[in-house]
A and B are shown apart, each in its own frame.
Chain A
């Protein structure tokens, strides 16, 4: 099980879209992933240490170093499959690199 953390403003809209898309697409590709969606402001070092991959919309400044792989997932929000594919591919590569 790969745990992914998505984040946006209220933790309910953009990050939920990313969560649903990642869970569905990675599931289709044969990976067992679980993605949580939260507010950017609620993320701290302790929270992020419980996840394998961080999936923000774009560059995110949390005030501390993020020690897990980061995959920017903004293009998923465009709702155009062709533009989201590179993100899924990068996510798949990252999952493989974890070696879990």
Chain B
């Protein structure tokens, strides 16, 4: 009986799976959005956009890694720095993740978890940032790649997901403070980058003890950003890192310029195609929000958005600008790192959490940022094989020989290490089971300590208002 069901579903679904990720995801995304009450034509529009985004990002990845592969090998040989993994930034990683049907599965689970938490009054946040489920999904997918089964991976995703939702409640008064907004303002976020807050807060406490005098050297963040001008923009970064690799790789001037402009063009195109991705999920996001709203009638709640509602704070960008050259240096000397910063060099996945914990003390943001960047580089290096293999599956024939890719500043580096140990522990190896237990206890322990600190902070905010 069971075997028949498996046989039939294989007969029906295998040909669709064999058509490749774009076709499969077109069908699934369209049907899912339709099921959430989105008009069929809107749902289909989203599905097609996802398919072209998956295809488009693959094309650009091919161009970028293809044109850099020879120069990178020469760079590694000439300099002795083994930085052979190309940093493609966030968009291709979102692709890899949104190219998997498991992402929609994790999304549905988290929608249910969120609604249940709201109903049980365990949170005040309704998360409408559907696109960014990929940050959580990639943790689950990586755990499965390392050996976890779907149940273990789902448990890990839910565990981190619940902490993310609790964190958005903890941060809400700080956001009001940073935005100078009244408490009635519903903006908060469950974004993964803020899961670094506990570690940052620990470093911040150490900073309090050792270097409190440094704070008086804080400088004007907006003025710095204004001076940097276009040198911090995507195409400029692509160009000068292309020149950097080209020169150290001993290329001819013609080749150096070709590398520079290819890198600049690729970084701009990644971001354009990234916007297709987000647009593709838009109908589903609206459908889910409508659905959740209906369930929540009469319940007052805050709304979980993508992180950039605080992007108007100049410190986010000033810290990212200063951290970029620091990261380049760290990448070259850090043992175990194989990533040369490129697409992720403006550390948007790092600095918002620094802003929230330090509340805009710029020198602290930079010092703590420099201290935590190695975690991001190591996690990016650890993920490279998984990301490249999964990306290649989008079109195996075309990308079979693609060099290794990853992302230098992907939000949630600690969660990637958790996925790694939990995944490996699932294979039954005793050593990894111990690692996983210790890691999970530490992860939860530091979060609980951080939650206590944030509650103290929030009580102070409440006292100020009273």
Residues of A within 8 A of B (CB): 7-17, 20, 37, 39-42, 44, 56-64, 74, 77-80, 83
Asked if B308 and A13 sit within 8 Å, CB to CB, the answer is: yes
Asked if B226 and A8 sit within 8 Å, CB to CB, the answer is: no
**Nearest-CB distance from B182 to chain A (Å)?**
12
User: In the complex, what residues of A have CB within 8 A of residue B247's CB?
Assistant: none
B312 interface neighbour in A10, A37, A61, Cβ under 8 Å: A61
Task: Compute how far the CA of A57 lies from the CA of B131 in the bound complex, rounded to whole angstroms.
Answer: 18
Asked if A40 and B311 sit within 8 Å, CB to CB, the answer is: yes
Query: Which residue of A has the minimal Cβ distance to B278?
Result: A13
Q: What are 27 sample pairs from A and B whose C-beta atoms fall under 8 A apart?
A: A8-B308, A8-B311, A9-B306, A9-B348, A10-B271, A10-B348, A12-B274, A13-B131, A13-B308, A16-B279, A17-B282, A20-B279, A20-B282, A39-B233, A40-B311, A40-B312, A41-B320, A57-B311, A57-B312, A58-B179, A61-B312, A61-B314, A64-B222, A77-B187, A77-B309, A78-B186, A79-B289
* B166 sits at the interface (CB 8 A): no
Query: Which residue of B has the minimal Cβ distance to A38?
Result: B233
Query: Which residue of B has the minimal Cβ distance to A79?
Result: B289
A16 interface neighbour in B220, B275, B311, Cβ under 8 Å: B275
Q: A7-B311, A14-B305 are in contact. Are A41 and B285 (CB under 8 A)?
A: no
User: In the complex, what residues of A have CB within 8 A of residue B186's CB?
Assistant: 78, 83
Task: Compute how far the CA of A72 lies from the CA of B86 in the bound complex, rounded to whole angstroms.
Answer: 38
* B96 sits at the interface (CB 8 A): no
User: In the complex, what residues of B have CB within 8 A of residue A39's CB?
Assistant: 233, 311
User: In the complex, what residues of B have CB within 8 A of residue A80's CB?
Assistant: 289, 293, 303
Asked if B308 and A9 sit within 8 Å, CB to CB, the answer is: yes
A79 interface neighbour in B223, B286, B321, Cβ under 8 Å: B286
User: In the complex, what residues of B have CB within 8 A of residue A7's CB?
Assistant: 311
B226 interface neighbour in A9, A57, A64, Cβ under 8 Å: A64
Task: Compute how far the CA of A12 lies from the CA of B307 in the bound complex, rounded to whole angstroms.
Answer: 12
Q: A40-B311, A61-B314, A62-B222 are in contact. Are A8 and B293 (CB under 8 A)?
A: no
Task: Please indicate which of the listed interface residues B225, B308, B320 has the most CB atoms of chain A within 10 Å of its own CB.
Answer: B308
* B454 sits at the interface (CB 8 A): no
Asked if A61 and B303 sit within 8 Å, CB to CB, the answer is: no
Asked if B278 and A12 sit within 8 Å, CB to CB, the answer is: yes
B181 interface neighbour in A17, A58, A79, Cβ under 8 Å: A58
**Nearest-CB distance from A46 to chain B (Å)?**
10
Residues of B within 8 A of A (CB): 90, 128, 131, 179-181, 185-187, 220-223, 225-226, 229-230, 232-233, 271-272, 274-275, 278-279, 282, 285-286, 289-290, 293, 303, 305-314, 316-317, 320-321, 346, 348, 352
Asked if A63 and B311 sit within 8 Å, CB to CB, the answer is: no
Task: Compute how far the CA of A11 lies from the CA of B223 in the bound complex, rounded to whole angstroms.
Answer: 21
**Nearest-CB distance from A80 to chain B (Å)?**
6
User: In the complex, what residues of B have CB within 8 A of residue A9's CB?
Assistant: 306-308, 311, 316, 348, 352
User: In the complex, what residues of B have CB within 8 A of residue A42's CB?
Assistant: 230, 233
User: In the complex, what residues of A have CB within 8 A of residue B220's CB?
Assistant: 63
User: In the complex, what residues of A have CB within 8 A of residue B346's CB?
Assistant: 41
**Nearest-CB distance from B275 to chain A (Å)?**
4
User: In the complex, what residues of B have CB within 8 A of residue A41's CB?
Assistant: 225, 232-233, 317, 320-321, 346
User: In the complex, what residues of A have CB within 8 A of residue B317's CB?
Assistant: 40-41
**Nearest-CB distance from B365 to chain A (Å)?**
15
Asked if B312 and A79 sit within 8 Å, CB to CB, the answer is: no
Query: Which residue of A has the minimal Cβ distance to B175?
Result: A58
Task: Compute how far the CA of A85 lies from the CA of B346 in the bound complex, rounded to whole angstroms.
Answer: 35
**Nearest-CB distance from A81 to chain B (Å)?**
10
Asked if B278 and A60 sit within 8 Å, CB to CB, the answer is: no
Query: Which residue of B has the minimal Cβ distance to A78?
Result: B303
Task: Compute how far the CA of A8 lies from the CA of B290 in the bound complex, rounded to whole angstroms.
Answer: 24
Task: Compute how far the CA of A62 lies from the CA of B229 in the bound complex, rounded to whole angstroms.
Answer: 11
Task: Compute how far the CA of A8 lies from the CA of B181 in the bound complex, rounded to whole angstroms.
Answer: 18
Query: Which residue of A has the minimal Cβ distance to B222?
Result: A63
Query: Which residue of B has the minimal Cβ distance to A8?
Result: B308
User: In the complex, what residues of B have CB within 8 A of residue A15's CB?
Assistant: 308
Query: Which residue of A has the minimal Cβ distance to B220?
Result: A63
User: In the complex, what residues of B have CB within 8 A of residue A61's CB?
Assistant: 221-222, 312-314
Task: Compute how far the CA of A13 lies from the CA of B233 in the bound complex, rounded to whole angstroms.
Answer: 17
User: In the complex, what residues of B have CB within 8 A of residue A78's CB?
Assistant: 128, 186, 303, 305
